[in-house]
Structure 1
Amino acid sequence: MHESHPSRQLLVLPDRDTAEEVAADVVRRWPELGEPELVREALAGEDDAEDAQWLVVLTRPGDAWADALLTALDALAAAHDGWREDA
């Protein structure tokens, strides 16, 4: 049985430069995903602008996330000191 995944996936990364690099890599490797959105997310309870994570938001209609693609996105995020989350 194929597990269903939400239509949005988040790649959580440590800084803006890394998020921009990963977003460009996603566009190059998987153009069918379209243009990712970059979002700055302040860490809970932190006021310092340096204490933020950057999200690469990937949106796909329906349950079109193949397990192989999610595994590749996990590896890409991990290679840049980040991780993937279902949204």
Structure 2
Amino acid sequence: MRKLVTTMTLLASALAFVLALAASPAAIAQTGNGPDTANPSSVRQGPLPAPVGHRQPRADQVPSEKNLSDPNSAANREDAALDRSIKSICRGC
């Protein structure tokens, strides 16, 4: 009987805690971290800045495509060998 009373008490207190968290206004309402719509000067205009570390490379920073079709390069020979070995695995796909 004592275990039953203890268990019921713990369940009731846990339920009251969950209901208190769910019913609190802070859990339902959003905080005022966004722009102030009453003050038009605080509303952001234009595109957002790019994240740090993400950039578009310039043309001189991109590797050339001249060596892609060279059959004598080591990378192309390895690719050809891999293609031959995969062909035996892949059945008509």
What TM-score comes out, normalization by structure 2 length? 0.18
More strand by share: 1
What TM-score comes out, normalization by structure 1 length? 0.20
More helix by share: 2
Identify the structure with bigger relative contact order (alpha carbons < 8 Å, sequence gap 6+). 1
